[in-house]
Amino acid sequence: MAVPMTFMNEELDRMKREGLYGSIRTLDGPQGAWVQIDGKRYLNLCSNNYLGLANDPRVRKKAKDLIDKYGVGPGAVRTIAGTMDLHLELEKKLAEFKGAEAAIVVQSGFCGNLAVMPTLAVEGDLIFSDSLNHASIIDACRLSRAKTLRYEHSDMDDLRAVLKENASLPGKKLIITDGVFSMDGDVARLPEIVAVAEEFGAIVAVDDAHGEGVLGRGGRGIVDHFRLHGRVDVEIGTMSKAFGVMGGMVAGSAVLVDYLRQKARPNLFSSALTVPDVAANIAAVEIMEESDELVKKLWDNGNYLKTEMKKHGFDVGSSETPITPVIIGEAQAAKDFSARLFENGVFATAIVFPTVPKGTARIRAMVSAAHSREDLDKGIEVFVKVGKSMGVVK
Ligand SMILES: Cc1ncc(COP(=O)(O)O)c(C=O)c1O
């Protein structure tokens, strides 16, 4: 009789044969504009550390100081072991930063989605989800047991049509969209989504993972970018990208946050963020509130990279944010491209199906405020060298 666990070897072998087995590079130092891998420095063009805060001395210091005062761990879930005043301080700061009445912090952006969809939409309810929404949204919708209907990516006619078709059904209706779509860098058409939602009496939730620290005044996010304060019911976010740390948040009305505290399972059944995470996040919000210098630098860098890549003949899609997808085409070609970049000192990962549609495999170049102009010029030079050698550009 076959050993019951052999299915794993078979599946892993299949993934290897089909080029779908991922290997992960090991960094011997911190995240930054440059990273160290196996003792060698590489230009880092693949992290979401948008503002370069992951290794900022102010953020590091706050984490160290608060470890000395509070230790490290939260002890248990907040509803059992109590909550630290630190967590409440972070939530207050986040709500102020986002211009919302209140905010709740959870363990990650993924958990933010798990806190929202299954709590607000239950069996008998309907969720309307953009077809390119992030995997954590998809999983959260599945967990909710509500019926989930996908609308074509950013297609407002389709969203309206699906809502209209189901308008007479009982149950709550919730629209969920990514704020910034991370593989292409396009921005959700939130004002139109809000208008459709208002027409059909639907709740609007936006996952602003790639908008936080990027869009809006001083990086206050997509709701601020479109000045939609008070008209978007739920803002989900992560502190793993622009904040440079880890953690998720949900911002909105006081009653929404009260409801999530009582009912959201990541709050009830998983322990709170650790002290260094909370401390570092507090420092990160303070830095963003103090000045919009890093956000401006990020946009300058993103615009420069896109313009230069385009000049050299690369297809950079239609990103509206600093995310710069460099479309290569076939999965194997994108992987080879990434490997050659690495041989030439540039760390930029290939993104292939199923994360992006077949035939649109790409290198997603991610700039940060920590990159200097010289860093970007070095990256562009290597992209052009590899692009020419592989016939991607002339
Ligand atoms: C839209 C979106 N939501 C959620 C997440 C998950 O965030 P975290 O890494 O904090 O769990 C990501 C990160 O890739 C994301 O892009």
Beta strands 203-207; 40-44: pairing state: unpaired
Write the pLDDT tens digit of every residue in 52-84. Answer: 999 999 999 999 999 999 999 999 999 998 999
Q: What percent of the chain has pLDDT over 90?
A: 93
Model pTM above 0.85: yes
Write the pLDDT tens digit of every residue in 156-166. Answer: 999 999 999 99
211 CA to centre of ligand 1 in angstroms: 11
110 CA to centre of ligand 1 in angstroms: 6
pLDDT-derived band of residue 16, with 50, 70 and 90 as boundaries?
confident
C-alpha torsion angle, residues 46, 48, 51, 54 (rounded to 10) = -100
pLDDT-derived band of residue 306, with 50, 70 and 90 as boundaries?
very high
Active site residue 210: yes
Q: What is the pLDDT of residue 84?
A: 95
Q: Using a 6 Å cutoff on CB, does residue 237 contact ligand 1?
A: no
Q: Using a 6 Å cutoff on CB, does residue 338 contact ligand 1?
A: no
Q: What DSSP character marks residue 53?
A: G
Q: Using a 6 Å cutoff on CB, does residue 238 contact ligand 1?
A: yes
Active site residue 271: no
Active site residue 358: no
285 CA to centre of ligand 1 in angstroms: 18
- Give SS3 for 131: coil
| Average pLDDT value for the chain | 96
Q: Using a 6 Å cutoff on CB, does residue 177 contact ligand 1?
A: no
pLDDT-derived band of residue 19, with 50, 70 and 90 as boundaries?
confident
Q: Positive or negative, the Cα torsion across 271, 276, 279, 283?
A: negative
Q: Positive or negative, the Cα torsion across 295, 299, 305, 306?
A: positive
Enumerate domains of the chain plus CATH numbers: 6-55+292-389 (3.90.1150.10), 57-290 (3.40.640.10)
Beta strands 126-130; 147-151: pairing state: parallel
